[in-house]
Structure 1
Amino acid sequence: MFTPVGPADEQPGSGDLSQVQRRTATLSDGTQLTALYNTGTSAATFKGQWGTTPYVYRLPPTAVEIFTERSGGRPGRP
């Protein structure tokens, strides 16, 4: 579920970001995937971009989130 916590100027970079693993892939139709996994014991908060809209995202401990972006730069639904 896509749950931004507020505008991009609200406390990005809190928590232990070194424990957030990131993997990316591109599907044959051009869709780009980004998977994030928080291996830590506390939430991590960081900046992101959804199309042209910046946001701040909070990833709970041990959570996994997958973001998609369709070819042409149009964001998909996570």
Structure 2
Amino acid sequence: VLFFHDHEWEPPILAEALSTDAFYVGAQGSMRAAEMRRMELVRLGVSDGDIAELRGPIGLVPSVRDARKLAISVLAEVLSL
């Protein structure tokens, strides 16, 4: 799970994570940020199947801003799997 505010760092890290057998790969951010992230992953050559495994926005509660609530929301999502 990535909690970056500097979204330009994310795609290479996510590309590597998506190439593993991790059962959950996700990144914080809005729907707009998620779409930009996906477009960058395509540019990096990540397969559509791997991109489909990426979760984002993360968490069960949409648009959570409080760090503690976001952490609980993401943990709940991971545990729900």
Whether TM exceeds 0.5 here: the answer is: no
Higher relative contact order (CA 8 A, sep 6+): 1
TM-score relative to the length of structure 2: 0.27
Name whichever structure is richer in helix by fraction.
Answer: 2
Name whichever structure is richer in strand by fraction.
Answer: 1
